[in-house]
Amino acid sequence: MSDNTETEQLGSLEITDILKLLPHRYPFLLVDRIKDIEGGDRCTGIKNVTINEPFFQGHFPDFPIMPGVLIIEGMAQTAGVLCIHHANKDLNDNPNLVFFMSIDKARFRRPVVPGDTLHYKVDKVRGRGTVWRFKCQAYVEGKLVTEAEIGAMVVDKEKAMQKK
C-alpha cells in the first residue's frame, strides 16, 4: 500500500465528533481526540491528563496517580468510538451503543500522573456480528503504561432504552 493511500484511509475525530458517538460526558469522558482511525480495524485516542481531573482529589492527594481502571475505561471508550464510527458513517445518525463485556490480560506498567498525555492504541482482534474484541495499549511518551484485551457488544440504543 502506498503512503498516500494509507494516509487517505486514516482520519481523525475531534471532541465534537466523539460526543456524537459516545454517551459519556464529564467527568466520565476519558478520550479527548482520535488522532487516527482506520476503518473498523484500529485507532489511536488521546487523553490529556490534568490536575483538574476530579479523581485526583482522592487518588491520591499527596501523590496524584490516575486510577488504572480509568485508563482501561479510556481504552474501552476509544474502542467504542471505533465500533460506532465504523458502523455509522453519518455522525448525526447514531442508533447504537457499545457495552463493555470483558477485560482480560490487564497489566499496569507505570503510573500516569498530571501532565501526561495518554495515547490509547486500539486494534481490532475480531468482530463477528455485534461482538468485537480488541487489543489495547496505553502509552505516555512512547512508553507502555497499560495493556489489556477488551470485549464489547454493539447494541441498538432504542432497544436498550426500552429495557430500562
* Diameter of the chain measured on Cα atoms: 50
146, 109 in Cβ contact below 8 A?
yes
- Show the cell assigned to 79: 474502542
Cα Rg, the chain, nearest whole Å:
16
By annotation, the residues acting in catalysis are 59
Q: What is the dihedral of CA 10, 16, 21, 24, to 10 degrees?
A: 130
Q: How far apart are CA 148 and CA 126, in angstroms?
A: 15
Residue type, 9: Q
- Report the alpha-carbon distance of residue 88 to residue 111 in Å, rounded: 35
82 grid coordinates: 471505533
